[in-house]
Structure 1
Amino acid sequence: MNVRGLRHAYGPRQVLRGIDLDLEPGALLGIVGENGAGKSTLLRILSGELRPDQGSVCHGGRFGYCPQDVVLNDALTVRQHLKYFQAAYGLHDLRRAEEIMEELRFTAYADERAGTLSGGTRQKLNLTLALMHDPQVLLLDEPYQGFDWDTYQRFWHLADGLRAAGRSVLVVSHLAYDIERLDTLWRLDAGVLTPAKAPAP
């Protein structure tokens, strides 16, 4: 994914002021910034959900987007969500989804309605739906919110596996946790993206 000159404003408030960003295959990347810094706006633009005022976003292949606000139908079970997204993605089976559920340890909740799930388990489903079609580029907005320590570690193991498989993974958060796990870390401040951690030599 190549991003050049992204600018966006809400009325008079400039949120993004010329963002340039490259997401290479096989990279695990991070963006941190305070709440309200424009992180979610940037991800919405990268995913195609929001059109920028200026700039361009170019990418090929499949991408997955895990938004900060979990979008689930509380009346549907976990399995029904998977079936719905299977049809939307045009998948032949749910093998990849089942692998992710096993990795995140919530296979036992397959027949539970989303409305009865805890916040952490809802986030596991949110992440699974973003990953189940094996995207080349994965955009994650606060992906581990609500996770306990074990699940948090499992998330990073999953992210490492995606990187090893040549996927691009962008993790966006308001706090810089475990930055040593990242290839590159950027900071978004006042609408400007600056390097916070250079790639390892």
Structure 2
Amino acid sequence: MFWVGLLLCALVGVELGGIVAGIMSTDTATGVVLTVVGANLAPWTAMGGFVLLYRGRRRASQVKQAPPRLEPAMARIESSRAVGEGPDIPLDLDLTVAPAGVPAYRAGATAVVNLMDLDDFRVGRTVVVDHDPLRPWDVRVRIRPDGEWAGRLAAAGIDTAPPESRRAEPPRPAGSGGRTGTARIGMAAIAVGAVLSLVPFHGYY
């Protein structure tokens, strides 16, 4: 879908080149045909090209964003800050996550905790989390872990990981997605098509 859209945008450039060639042609009949045909085709070709480009990029982005593969781990609470009020209190947590078999690292997480359970989320306490090994910044706190993991909490001893081990989601490059990025790619393809149009229409200039 993406490549078809790219080809259609390049074709728009060729059609625009045909319009210019028709205007500049010394052969009136041929010039009228090139101008009329190009002017009628270009808007529809451009519309189809940009739609296919956008849908193609969106589908590719959805494929890349595979569902997280969450695995349980123990984590130490390094800081805990309430960011709301009520019987269910939202907390911003700074954690040392200690997955089995790999070095511990720092990561942020959020949790909504009932007032009665707030003592379990003080600094220095150990909690059970689910983390994605491919996206280590994706950490989700288990408010009430099941019996197997709950039994490990009392015996768990986790050392604080250094701040430089923090994992955070990498920023997306500016203009890398959405309508703006699609428009730039489409306009670049149109420009390439316009340059290529000099080959079939060079005799009309």
- State the TM bucket, normalised to the shorter chain: under 0.3
Greater share of residues in helix:
2
Higher relative contact order (CA 8 A, sep 6+): 1
Specify the structure having the higher radius of gyration (Cα).
2
TM-score (norm 2): 0.22
